[in-house]
Amino acid sequence: MTLEMIEALAEGLVTLGGEPHLKLITIEGDGPDFSFGASIPEHAPGQIDAVLPEAHRLTMTLLDAPAPTAAVVRGRCLGGGFELALACDLIFAADTATFGLPEVALGVFPPAAAALLPPRVGAARATVAILSGASVPAAEWLAAGLVSAMAPEAELSAAIGLWFDAHLSAKSASALRFAARAARAPLEREVAAVLPELERLYLDEAMRTNDAREGIAAFLEKRAPHWTDR
């Protein structure tokens, strides 16, 4: 997820605000994976200070989208890609999909996920996901209530169509717009209150550590990081 992609997604969501008949907005990856996450080169000093606020603005734009939103996840959904999915109302996943927050392995943490995941799945599950960085299969998040529906990858598009027909298609687009806004309201208030603090923690503290710089450099140089714990 580069800055260019983030800005294009935000612009697309704003454009969709003029469509009164819209009943569902879906976001999916163009390929076998949903997203490997944020662009690591754009985490370099002098770039991340511009990129992260835009990513967080996209989060808030999704939480104010003009219709219900759904992430359609195939393959891997990692880091900033997982944060994007968490900002959607629904997550539809292939049964082979995996979700993870690997930022801790780079010496940092996922700010938007730290704001979005606890209200959606509970603090205990969110803490394990953020601290471990482990990839979790879609079935586990389905059991936790985060994934709304799951199907074999070859059948996922058809399954989403059936879900839409069963739950949304016969309803008023206006009613769905207001219902989505109402359902998001507690999460939107929580994220609006917490995310600016987490953004400052990331940019002003975490990114100034030796280990954050080392983790990003090691990733780009394709080597193991040498942590100094500072």
Query: So which residues are the catalytic ones?
Result: 83, 103
Axis crossing angle, helix 48-62 with helix 3-16, rounded to the nearest 10: 30
- Residue (of 109, 103, 14) closest to 57 by Cα position: 14
Q: Residue 2 corresponds to which tokens in the numbers above? A: 């580069």
Q: Which residues contact 215 (CB under 8 A, 6 or more apart)?
A: 105, 106, 107, 108, 225
- The amino acid at residue 191 is V
Q: Residue 83 corresponds to which tokens in the numbers above? A: 């944060």
Is residue 59 a contact partner of residue 116, using CB atoms and an 8 Å limit? yes
